[in-house]
Amino acid sequence: MKLPRRFFQPLAAGAPEPFREVPIKLERMIHFVPPHNEKVRARVPDLAKTVDVVLGNLEDAVPADQKEAARNGFVAMAKATDFAASGTGLWTRINALNSPWILDDLFTLVAEVGDKLDVVMVPKVEGPWDIHYIDQLLAQLEARHHVRKPILVHAILETAEGVANVDAIACASPRMHGMSLGPADLAASRGMKTTRVGGGHPDYRVLSDPKGDAERSSAQQDLWHYTIARMVDACMANGIKAFYGPFGDFSDSAACEVQFRNAFLMGCAGAWTLHPSQVALAKTVFAPDPAEVNFAARIVEAMPDGTGAVMIDGKMQDDATWKQAKVIVDLARLVAE
């Protein structure tokens, strides 16, 4: 199901027709900053040169009595830095739809910095109706403030109801940019027995072969495999991007790397980074492995029109592996640009 363009009307006089395409951009990490923190804000101009996306967070982790300061801090931050000059995306995570802050968030941000804002991340999306609401509100505010470029919408998948409606959310609006898994809220919504922000759990295990070696018998199962797979399918079926969300244990970069890599291999374009140490990790993980790129390039070269069957290093390649190879070669090219 694709929604008609009436969701964008009325347009501001002279405003361009909104487009549906999600720009092909490198978005390996969506780097979260707390805009009410003046010290962090002062570092944003430098930060913008090193990350793919800067996101000013207005929702969870911002105390209730700092919501206004965060909103105003975001406006200051957006005005002070030319994000477009470095090709860096400027996103915000607004407060939840049933919170007292959401209207002020959108009214202020679109009025003050609507032309600089690329994507609005919407938390706790439960169904397409939540996206329709944001869509209409953005259309009205863009029209009122003569915003020239449609602001895109990114949903966080972090409630059991949201997961049940993931396909309908993915195609709820031509504004949809993508979706992120929110493992912390999702764990709570599902009644999972955890106190973590993403990652595995030592008690959630793969049953091991009693004769296996020690390393194998301590292997962890990925708690998020099912939801990531569902999210990736819903996103790809609708031409939008999937992302892994946060990893909260900053002291465990090895586990963070594994979580990011599993998401990458399953089709995610990037992940959230909450700490500077995770930025380098995301850069490495969300780019294809050089050996894999070399092999993929050999497949593409061996089948110039993408059809037929060839053997490379004893492995059969055909039209389907050519398509897989193209994904890897195209991403490697984007990373190298």
Whole-angstrom distance, CA of residue 96 vs CA of residue 243? 19
What would the x/- binding string for ligand GLV be over residues 205 to 244, using CB under 6 A? ----------------------------------------
Q: Does 245 bind ligand GLV (CB under 6 A)?
A: yes
Q: Does 130 bind ligand GLV (CB under 6 A)?
A: no
Q: Does 200 bind ligand GLV (CB under 6 A)?
A: no
**Contact call for residues 63 and 91 (beta carbons, < 8 A):** no
- Tell me how crowded residue 107 is: count the other CB atoms within 10 A of its CB: 15
Q: How far is the CB of 159 from Mg ion (least distance, A)?
A: 9
Whole-angstrom distance, CA of residue 157 vs CA of residue 141? 25
Task: Extract the runs of DSSP E, i.e. beta strands, from 116-175.
Answer: 119-122, 152-157
Under rule CB under 6 A, how many of the chain's residues touch ligand GLV?
Answer: 10
* Burial zone of 24 (CB within 10 Å; 0-12 exposed, 13-18 middle, 19+ buried): exposed
Query: Which residue in this structure is represented by tokens 């020239």?
Result: 148
- Tell me how crowded residue 77 is: count the other CB atoms within 10 A of its CB: 24
Binder among 126, 135, 142, 185 for ligand GLV (CB under 6 A) = 185
255 contact choice in Mg ion, ligand GLV, none (CB below 5 to 8 Å, kind-dependent): none
Rank residues 169 and 332 by Cβ distance to Mg ion and give the closer one: 169
Query: Which range touches ligand GLV (CB under 6 A), out of 97-105, 131-139, 178-186, 220-228?
Result: 178-186
Beta bridge partners of 271: 29, 244
68 contact choice in Mg ion, ligand GLV, none (CB below 5 to 8 Å, kind-dependent): none
What would the x/- binding string for ligand GLV be over residues 300 to 319, using CB under 6 A? --------------------
Torsion of CA 114, 115, 116, 121, to 10 degrees: 50
Whole-angstrom distance, CA of residue 125 vs CA of residue 19? 23
**Contact call for residues 331 and 290 (beta carbons, < 8 A):** no
Rank residues 141 and 281 by Cβ distance to ligand GLV and give the closer one: 281
Q: How far is the CB of 4 from ligand GLV (least distance, A)?
A: 31
List interacting residues with Mg ion (CB under 5 A): 158, 182, 185
Q: How far is the CB of 221 from ligand GLV (least distance, A)?
A: 19
Rank residues 88 and 227 by Cβ distance to ligand GLV and give the closer one: 227
Region 23-82 residues binding ligand GLV, contact defined as CB under 6 A: 60
Please state, in angstroms and as integers, the Cα–Cα distance from residue 75 to each residue in 159, 217, 273, following that order. 29, 51, 21
Q: How far is the CB of 273 from ligand GLV (least distance, A)?
A: 13
Interacting residues toward ligand GLV by CB under 6 A: 60, 156, 158, 182-185, 197, 245-246
